Amino acid sequence: MFELRVNGRQGRVLVVDDEAGVRKPIRQHLVKAGYEVEEAEDGDMAIKRLNEGENPLMVDTILCDIRMPKMNGADAIAYFRSQHPCVPIVVLTGYPDIDLATSLLRQGVQDYLVKPVTMDRLLPVIKRAVDQHEILKNQFTT
């Protein structure tokens, strides 16, 4: 299997969800699996986190909820796709919607998961997304 590690870490994941009770266990499991995790409670905060300071936050995957206050996930995903087109996005939502899932997958979202999700299901999806980003980064830097 193709394994990529930077400084002993699997990669950096931005978890965007308005529920701290969702973000915290996901963070714990991802950190335990070797990922560096950043958090944002809505789409607006995620965009601010990505663009703060002189050095924009570099992430390997974005795990994003859809229904959130201020800026919902669909609007945030549109921004991520336009400004960070190579960063894989995985949707994690409590509201399954086949039409929305189809639309987001057509826009380049890598996967669409429905809450509650087991870590046995989530971790391989995140690994695949991070690995895909590493491959794309290597193609553009070599």
Q: Please name the residues in contact with 50: beta carbons below 8 A apart, sequence gap of 6 or more.
A: 14, 56, 57, 59, 80, 83, 84
Whether residue 59 lies inside any domain: the answer is: yes
| Residue 81 within any structural domain of the chain | yes
Range of the domain at 30: 11-141
Domain tally, the chain: 1
Look up the pTM and report it: 0.88
Contact, 16 vs 62, CB < 8 A?
yes
CATH classification of the domain holding 78: 3.40.50.2300
Contacts of 55 (CB under 8 A, 6+ apart): none
5-54 residue pLDDT tens: 444 568 999 999 999 999 999 999 999 999 999 999 999 999 999 998 76
Q: Is residue 124 included in any domain, yes or no?
A: yes
pLDDT per position as a tens digit, 53-84: 766 678 999 999 999 998 999 999 999 999 98
Contact indicator for 35, 63 with CB cutoff of 8 Å: no
Q: Are 43 and 73 in contact (CB under 8 A)?
A: yes
37 inside domain: yes
